[in-house]
Amino acid sequence: MASVLRPALLTLLLCGAAGASQRPQWPVQRVPVVWPQQTEERPAPHFLQPAQLELTSSCGPDCHKQAPAPSYWDLRHFLSYETLHSSGQLTETAVGIYGFDANSFYKTPAVRSRSKRQIFGHDSRFSIVGQDFLLNYPFSTAVKLSTGCSGTLVGDRHVLTAAHCVHDGKNYVKGAQRLRVGFLKPQQKDSSGRNGTRPDKMKFQWIRVKRTHVPKGWIKGTANDIGMDYDYALLELKKAHKRRHMKLGISPTATQLPGKRVQFSGFDNDRPGQLVYRFCEAGDETYDLLYQRCDAQPGASGSGVYARMWSRRRHRWERKVIGIFSGHQWVDLSGTPQEFNVAVRITPLKFAQICYWIKGNYVDCREG
């Protein structure tokens, strides 16, 4: 039976209970510059397979921690990106990186190793019901992709999601060229009352995507070990929506998060037409990935993982997207498959890149 979040509990979870002396604060970090240098047209892509909603990798948390830090030239390649236009045109853009010191930025947080996630047990997800919640911030920032994933509004025309929702590592997935984004809307009740429509029943209003950006770190032939670190994409809509969007934020370490907790909302496949909210404790992490124990089903992939912390510069609470839920990652460890819930962390370089995609300049992308 689906759990429904009560108003009092919802307010407590979204606003937090910490007093002024216990305010978890957004860390102040320097943001590098990721600057486009050259754009070339590429051959038109093939759209073959449906979007993958489950990922497979041979590399788990310990494996990722042991991987050598990428060089400056590796990072330039990984952060170069492809842009798929709704016309079918495909371009590739090379980037330069400025103001980035690998020694000060590229460090794996020192945290304890997480225990193996229990796949079975109590379902801790909540279905958000009622227009008072569904159509208000932050739940109003959650959207559905026509390929079956979820996403989060991060600009007047922009949606952040997982790369595997539009590209499988080899090709763009079926439907990526004519990609649409669905906004949950209230179903209008027939004034005659004869159709029996429930007042709280919801439907989607769809907007076409104008172009899609995918980092080259993901496009490496398969959703492989390095590719997992770059499982994110940004969609630009053909027209502006009229909803409040979520801010981007550089991911703090798990120990800096309020209660070490993360939360996100998405459209899980087993609850069609419902927005599903969950929160859980953040577990192990690497520089690029965050492992957590949130219950989720296919369809939630691409959801924005967010946190609410105090901004010292603006002297107010701010809720920001700090990662993208990649999904359930199955890892083959010595012949034994283990499941991990993985989110891609928004690092300073990823923040700089995604912010530039949204703003079109780096001047407005200096604070994460």
Give the residue among 260, 269, 223, 262 at the shortest CA–CA distance from 343: 262
* Catalytic option among 64, 158, 164, 241: 164
* CA–CA dist 164, 166 (Å, integer): 5
Burial class of residue 145, CB neighbours in 10 A (0-12, 13-18, 19+): buried
Contacts of 315 (CB under 8 A, 6+ apart): none
Q: How far is CA 13 from CA 37, 176, 179, 215, in A?
A: 43, 35, 33, 33
* Share of the chain residues as helix, strand and coil, in percent rounded to the nearest 5: 20, 35, 45
139 in the Ramachandran plot: left (φ > 0), alpha (ψ -120 to 50) or beta? alpha
Contact 302, 143 (CB under 8 A): no
- Cα 159 from Cα 246, distance rounded (Å): 10
- Is 288 catalytic? The answer is no
Mark whether 62 is an active-site residue. Answer: no
Q: Which of 85, 225, 295, 311 is catalytic?
A: 225
Question: Choosing from 265, 301, 303, 326, which is the catalytic residue?
Answer: 301
Q: At what angle are helices 72-79 and 348-359 packed, to 10 degrees?
A: 40
- Please answer whether residues 263 and 307 qualify as being in contact, where contact means their C-beta atoms are separated by less than 8 angstroms: yes
Point out the residues that are catalytic.
164, 225, 301
